[in-house]
Amino acid sequence: MRGGAAAPDGLTIPAPLPTAAAPAAPVIHAAPPVPSYIPPFGLRTIIGCLGMLLAVHVAGFNEHVTEIGLSDIRGAMHIGHDEGTWFTTIYEAFNIASMAFTPWFYMTFSIYRFSIFVTATMALLAIPAPFMPDITSLCVLRAFQGLMAGCLPPVLMTVMLKYLPAEIRVFGIGGYAMSATFGPNLGLPLEAFWFEHVGWHWLYWEIIPLAALSVAMLAYGLPRDPMHLERFEKFNWFGLLVGLPAICSLVIVLYQGDRLDWFRSPVITHLALWGGAAFVVFLINESFHPSPYFKIHYWLSRNIQASLLSLVGILAICGLMAELPALYLEEVRGYRPIQTAPVSLVVALPQLIMLPLIAAICNSRRVDCRYVLAGGMLCLAAAAWCGTWLTPDWVRDNFYLIQILQVFGQPMTVIPTLMLATLALGPADGPFISGMVNMLKGLANAVAFALFAALTRRREQYHSTMLLDHHGTHGLALQGLGDPIGQQLAGTSPDAAHVARNALEVFHTYIREQALVLGLADIYFILIWVCLFYAVLNVVLPRRVYPPRPPSATAPAH
């Protein structure tokens, strides 16, 4: 008799075949097959998967819209600059940390119940956010909201890989890639719309109607798989108690390090030391615990090594290339988010076409996704090369060519990277790899933030020093050119000392703008070589993977 038992992740484990020493007894009535809780693919399943995709985008909007609109939120809620930085840091710390532990919980409470609870809780926590009396209570609320939001991306990866048929599973990976390409680039236009046309409260509340729609789609479309509360008998309590504060500490170091001057700050030093030590203990515990949150030995696979390292690098590159135009237009040209929004929309909207297109290309067995990834990295390298021509005369239109190259480069890199990470493993490995992939995806954003802050500050300081040094060295030679700034300001005041002070302020403004532009151009130059490195790495290191196909009816049984 061919029977089976239902595993916690919804897979059917075949029962052992009878051996020759124990002949099988005659079967009078065969037992009914055990349900696998994977429904037949149809409209209902599609609605459930789209509801999960919408929930992840809602979580992304909650993250990016409030982060981009932080200056407006600080002004409305009377929050200082330094206190406001913790508004983002606390949210991101719990958001990233929860990704590592989510698979264990949705395998225990079921994907259906866990997804609805998390999505609804995240939306309900947004209601009181604008009315928090101080920054401490607001950060506590954002910590819980980040904890809920971080649970959704790992569930999306599992839903796409588990419920979609093998022949369209790559399109599910493309849908998951939307959370890394489409969602982040749509955050700036959404912030501009809600703040300028509706009101600052809706920077928090904009997730509520979309979350309600998502919950309805999840409740209708996802299968009612059972709970497995018996898994609490082997619950990895020590891993949770050590790993959660360790990951939070490391994320706080990345987000606050540059502002607090890194290891010159006791806060950063202690968080890095104790957080790093706790993270090492966490990894050791995961290596030997019978019920780990993710399996460390996956790193022995060449495909896993290349794909996870590339995922962090690629998402960090995409994050940096989104920040560079926004910072330039804000600091040098004085643009508001509503004026910068078209630059982001140029990347965001074409993703609705490019992601399915690239997924269709990678779904062909004649196409090697490693070369698609390398081509995408070359597109990003070309975009970075165009950015090295940045000058203080650029306006919004000058960035459109850079953004168009990213339209092709981002999906061509993210989809093949996720294919290399997921298709090299079996279905039972999905929950273990989803937590690892999503935690590293979140860490990529933190790494991009830290690199951007550190590189921008250091390169701007370097160029400012060099420009002032050249001005001081060649000051006598420049006297013959006159004083154009002083001449333009001479008629603004009869007080010569006042005019001189204003002229000095204008001069330093020019120096700062030029130093910032040169610093951003340097970052673009660095990104060229990073992109070329990843292009070569992913051609050489990983082995080729093929898009999944349903098993053939004539294939021999193993």
Residues 278 and 380 in one domain: no
For 340, counting Cβ atoms within 10 Å of its Cβ (0-12 exposed, 13-18 middle, 19+ buried), the class is: buried
Return mean pLDDT, the chain: 83
CATH number of residue 183's parent domain: 1.20.1250.20
pLDDT of residue 14: 44
CA distance 254 to 448: 9
Residue 414 lies in a domain: yes
Residue 10 has pLDDT above 70, yes or no: no
Phi, psi at 501, each rounded to 5°:
-65, -45
Contacts 24+ apart (CB under 8 A), 470-476: 471/511
22 pLDDT band (50/70/90 cuts)?
very low
For 429, counting Cβ atoms within 10 Å of its Cβ (0-12 exposed, 13-18 middle, 19+ buried), the class is: middle
How much helix, strand and coil, in percent to the nearest 5, is found in the chain? 75, 0, 25
DSSP 110: -
Kindly give, in sequence order, each residue whose CB lies less than 8 Å from that of residue 270, ignoring residues fewer than 6 positions away. Answer: none
pLDDT of residue 224: 85
Residues 255 and 205 in one domain: no
Residues 137 and 179 in one domain: yes
Residues 404 and 520 in one domain: yes
Structural domain span for residue 195: 40-235
pLDDT of residue 553: 47
CA distance 431 to 154: 8
Residue 176 has pLDDT above 70, yes or no: yes
Residues 434 and 351 in one domain: yes
Residue 441 lies in a domain: yes
Residue 27 lies in a domain: no
Residue 484 lies in a domain: no
Residue 130 has pLDDT above 70, yes or no: yes
Residue 153 has pLDDT above 70, yes or no: yes
Residues 381 and 345 in one domain: yes
More confident residue, 168 or 39: 168
pLDDT of residue 69: 83
> What dihedral do alpha carbons 360, 362, 367, 368 form, nearest 10°?
180
pLDDT of residue 519: 93
In this predicted model, what pLDDT tens digit does every residue of 77-122 receive, in sequence order?
888 888 888 988 999 999 999 988 888 888 889 888 999 999 999 9
Residue 203 lies in a domain: yes
pLDDT of residue 170: 87
Nearest to 436 by CA among 159, 153, 228: 153
Residues 442 and 507 in one domain: yes
More confident residue, 22 or 304: 304
Count of domains forming the chain? 3
Residues 76 and 112 in one domain: yes
Residue 185 has pLDDT above 60, yes or no: yes
For 104, counting Cβ atoms within 10 Å of its Cβ (0-12 exposed, 13-18 middle, 19+ buried), the class is: buried
If phi over 0 gives left and psi between -120 and 50 gives alpha, with beta otherwise, what is residue 501? Answer: alpha
Nearest to 444 by CA among 419, 413, 422: 413
**Cβ-based neighbour number of residue 141 at 10 Å:** 18
Q: Residue range 189-201: average pLDDT? A: 84
Residues 417 and 322 in one domain: yes
Residue 366 has pLDDT above 80, yes or no: yes
Say whether pTM exceeds 0.85: no
Residue 5 lies in a domain: no
Alpha-carbon distances of 55 from 141, 300, 498, rounded to whole Å: 19, 33, 57
425 pLDDT band (50/70/90 cuts)?
low
pLDDT of residue 248: 94
Residues 285 and 298 in one domain: no
Q: Residue range 329-358: average pLDDT? A: 89
> What's CA 440's distance to the chain center, in Å?
9
At 329, the amino acid letter reads L
pLDDT of residue 32: 41
CA distance 51 to 156: 10
Residues 320 and 435 in one domain: yes
Residue 17 lies in a domain: no
Residues 335 and 200 in one domain: no
In this predicted model, what pLDDT tens digit does every residue of 490-528 receive, in sequence order?
667 676 676 677 777 778 888 888 999 999 999 999 999
% of residues, the chain, pLDDT over 90 = 32
Residue 123 has pLDDT above 60, yes or no: yes
375 pLDDT band (50/70/90 cuts)?
very high
More confident residue, 298 or 124: 124
215 pLDDT band (50/70/90 cuts)?
very high
Nearest to 101 by CA among 154, 173, 177, 158: 154
pLDDT of residue 318: 87
In this predicted model, what pLDDT tens digit does every residue of 66-82 receive, in sequence order?
888 888 888 888 888 88
CA distance 480 to 482: 5
Pair of tokens at residue 467: 């420009």
Residue 161 lies in a domain: yes
% of residues, the chain, pLDDT over 70 = 86
Residue 542 has pLDDT above 90, yes or no: no
Specify the 3-state DSSP secondary structure of 265. coil
Buried b vs exposed e over 444-474: b needs ≥16 C-beta within 10 Å? bbbbbbbbbbebbeebbeebbeebeeeeeee
Residue 551 has pLDDT above 70, yes or no: no
Pair of tokens at residue 171: 């399109």
At 346, the amino acid letter reads V
